[in-house]
Amino acid sequence: MFTKILIANRGEIACRVIATARKMGIRTVAVYSEADREARHVALADEAVLLGPAPSRESYLVADKIIAACKATGAQAVHPGYGFLSENEDFAKRCEEEGIAFIGPKHYSIAAMGDKIASKKLANEAKVNTIPGYNDAIESAEKAVEIAKGIGYPVMIKASAGGGGKGLRVAFNDKEAFEGFTSCRNEARNSFGDDRVFIEKYVEEPRHIEIQVLGDAHGNVLYLNERECSIQRRHQKVIEEAPSPFISDATRKAMGEQAVALAKAVKYQSAGTVEFVVGKDQSFYFLEMNTRLQVEHPVTECITGLDLVEMMIRVAAGEKLPLTQADVKREGWAIECRINAEDPFRNFLPSTGRLVRFQTPEQTMFQSDTTRLQGVRVDTGVTEGGEIPMFYDSMIAKLIVHGRDRNEAIAKMREALNGFVIRGISSNIPFQAALLAHPKFVTGDFNTGFIAEHYGKGFRAEDVPHSDPNFLVALAAFVRRKSRERAATMSGQLPGYDVKVGEEYTVIELGHEGQHRYIDVHVDDYPSKHGVAVIQVEGKRYAIESHSRLNDIRITGNVNGQPFTAQIERGTLKNPLALQVQHNGTRIETLVVSRRMADLHKLMPYKAPPDLSRFVLSPMPGLLVDVAVQPGQKVQAGERVAVIEAMKMENVLFAAQDGVVKKVVAGKGESLTVDQVIVEFE
């Protein structure tokens, strides 16, 4: 067994590998860029080596620097995590040549599965179901149309070297096939330096289901059940679960056996994933094989009780798999939510900056420890006060729950999201809460088009309906009442000017453009019992008991005998006197005042915000990589104005209306903040 390994990655996956290595008594070496000097994975590792500047092409993607770090520290093996160099056959081969064990498959297995066209041919030879299609590179758009007609619409046009949704189009007719082929080829050339494109049948109402496989150097290969990954936004997974609520035992067995056959065909050693598209009739077809550990591996660890990172390390050290197919368990139900630094209410724009508050829900399951299941686990690479840099992907954390069945897992996840505190940057937690509450998700009736179908026009606060909105009103009144009680006990108050606690309040739910809701509430206290009050809201009674401190953001307690976790903040950017209440993805901003103050508040005129239509503002923090206009230029609505790069994504800003450029305020190469002015129009 190795005594020291280097983790050629960053963030939560680097921390994940360190946890297992520590359990196994293996010392670890972290690598980091200038942007990650204070990162959590650097602090956790036994040693750390600086690779270079923040951009990954100058640090995490430079194989020479990683090999040099191995030699300098005496690391005998490299775990590549996922992303970066994890599926780079040249890097895997180079490690082998330098006498460094690569904790992953052999380079020839990566090569065989890394090319989508070659992998489909291999799958056919291994008698794995493949989608009907044309698997050779297509030379022209005219030929693409001819092939598409032969297969039958709809068809999917894909770049051979594609990934992450780039170089992929669906065509329903000749025109879309012609244009889609041209776009795919251009995208593939620009993104991957490989413009080969192929066409295959598009499976309608498809599910994305993947089989986890595990192989060793002695010819043994197992499948560790499946993961349901159909909840995707723009081809990026959002929620994953194991097992799938859709497939039958017979389909699971058939998919697992085909995945094993494919892994054996490429002499696969390590953990890997065979991805399938599954039709509504449970017909399934091979998509691709990911020759690395997957982001969503924890849900498989929950239902099987296996530490996949440990398995990878043991296989790389030459050990045999410690179990047979008959030993593989499938117990309970696990769900993973990817918590990303993005603002769902602003079209999921990246959100970078400092994590002012970062408090995870209470954990009862932990990385590398598969003895404690049926609980909550958080995999993260960040800490409170840390920075979310613009140079890497947007994932802050992975929230994983394990329950006895799917309904219990959903309930645990909703409660865990309620207790996940993230401030300083925006996160997609409200969106995750909405997905988990959606009736079709709850019943398991969804496919890969679920988010596009239900949230195709974006995500709004109204898309998170609360089952009992007056509970949030009652909670605001409860917190305000408790703070008044505390204030009333302070000594030294002048007679006649002392704080009156009161029982009658009005909760003003602040709305947009002065459209407020006024709710009269009555509060009855229990003088003999601390932390308890009964709030009457519109004829409904809420008996709330909570012993959380008044200055806590996250408060827990019981309402009418049922446990709850919610988040309360005092003071917002818009109103320092407001109480912001958040529960089950719904957030309201309130003022809790006396009845007289509420009457006066109704008389306050609405002050409209300033007109910013003459400005092009940066919708996110990022790097201004291009300004496409200059002073005096006439610009039409929809014309490209600027390009901002953040979290590996380019975001193009367009003019909202016709106009003439008065001034270019921000320059190319400048780092922008949210709402910073880039261009001003006359």
The tally of CA atoms less than 13 A away on the side-chain side of residue 140 is: 3
CA-closest candidate to residue 41, choices 84, 77, 7, 11: 11
DSSP 363: P
SS3 content of the chain, % helix, strand, coil (to 5): 30, 30, 40
CA-closest candidate to residue 642, choices 662, 658, 618: 618
Q: How far apart are the C-alpha atoms of 124 and 163, rounded to whole Å?
A: 21
- Catalytic residue status for 288: yes
Is residue 545 within 8 A of residue 531, CB to CB? The reply is yes
Amino acid at 282: Q
Beta strand 4-7 with 27-33: parallel, antiparallel or unpaired?
parallel
Phi-psi label, residue 262: left if phi above 0, alpha if psi -120 to 50, beta otherwise:
alpha
Q: How far apart are the C-alpha atoms of 487 and 472, rounded to whole Å?
A: 23
CA-closest candidate to residue 461, choices 571, 572, 587: 587
Q: Could you identify the residue written with the tokens 């007109």?
A: 611
Sorted by sequence, the CB contacts under 8 Å of residue 32 that are 6+ apart come out as: 10, 39, 41, 42, 48, 49, 50, 51, 59
**Residue 507, both tokens:** 């909760």
DSSP 321: P
Burial of 600 (0-12, 13-18, 19+ CB in 10 A): exposed
Taking residue 48's Cβ as centre, other Cβ atoms within 10 Å add up to 20
Helix (H) or strand (E) holding 297: helix 297-304
Length of the chain in terms of residues written: 682
Taking residue 668's Cβ as centre, other Cβ atoms within 10 Å add up to 12
Sorted by sequence, the CB contacts under 8 Å of residue 5 that are 6+ apart come out as: 17, 21, 26, 27, 28, 29, 75, 76, 77, 78, 79, 103, 313
Is residue 56 within 8 A of residue 33, CB to CB? The reply is yes
Helix (H, G, I), strand (E, B) or coil at 515: coil
Give, in order, the Cα–Cα distances in Å from 454 to each of 37, 314, 347, 411, 448: 41, 44, 14, 21, 12
What values do phi and psi take at 434, rounded to 5? Answer: -65, -45
**Residue 19, both tokens:** 């946890």
Beta strand 357-359 with 562-570: parallel, antiparallel or unpaired?
unpaired
Please report, in angstroms and rounded to a whole number, the separation of the first and last CA atoms in the chain: 69
Q: Could you identify the residue written with the tokens 């139900």?
A: 333
Task: Output b/e per residue, 207-222; b: 16+ Cβ within 10 A.
Answer: bbbbbbbbbbbeebbb
Spot the catalytic one: 200, 288, 296, 310: 288
Taking residue 508's Cβ as centre, other Cβ atoms within 10 Å add up to 22
- Which residues are tagged catalytic? 288
